Amino acid sequence: MSPAGDDFASRVVAVVETIPPGRVMTYGSVAAAIGSRSSRGVGQVMAWAGSDLPWWRVVRASGLPPERHEQRALEHYRVEGTPLRQGRTGVLRVDLERAAWSP
DNA sequence: TGGGTGACTAAGT
DNA sequence: CACTTAGCCACCC
């Protein structure tokens, strides 16, 4: 049994909690922040503990929120004033150039 | 120990 | 910029 706060999941949660409103991190950046390259691992933690976290502040490298959750995320972006950009197909995504954040 | 899964990413078309 | 394909890595049988 590993010490609490020392496992992969706990590290991911700790990083996500530091993201301020209006800013975002990509799955890959969160992984890098804890010395890992497992963006998918971060996704698995979010699926397990996302409901207790500002999950909308963690997006894909393309600036898109997790699949099936785009609508819910968009409402938070509107409230927090997160910088957005519109893609060629009309899809709204986070402007990583302006919203990217690192702990 | 081995194989499948997924809230991903980078590179090519 | 959008779509496809192969690669990665933590987690769970």
Per-residue model confidence (pLDDT) at position A6: 74
Which CATH number among 3.30.200.20, 2.60.120.10, 1.10.10.10, 3.40.50.20 corresponds to the domain A7-99?
1.10.10.10
pLDDT digits (tens, 9 = 90+) for A31-88: 999 999 999 999 999 999 999 999 999 999 999 999 999 999 999 999 999 999 998 8
pLDDT band at A1 (very low <50, low <70, confident <90, very high): low
Give the nearest nucleotide to A41, CA to C1': C10
pLDDT band at A2 (very low <50, low <70, confident <90, very high): low
| A49, A7, A34, A53 alpha-carbon torsion, rounded to 10° | 20
**3-state percent breakdown (helix, strand, coil) of chain A, nearest 5:** 45, 10, 40
Per-residue model confidence (pLDDT) at position A32: 97
pTM: 0.94
Whether the CB of A47 is less than 7 Å away from nucleic strand C comes out as no
Residue A22 has pLDDT above 60, yes or no: yes
Q: In degrees rounded to 5, what are phi and psi of residue A56?
A: -70, -15
Name the residue ranges covered by the structural domains of chain A.
7-99
Residues by Cβ under 7 A, strand B: A 26-28, 38-44, 46-47, 50-51, 55, 60-62, 65-67, 69
* Distance between CA atoms of residues A97 and A38, nearest Å: 22
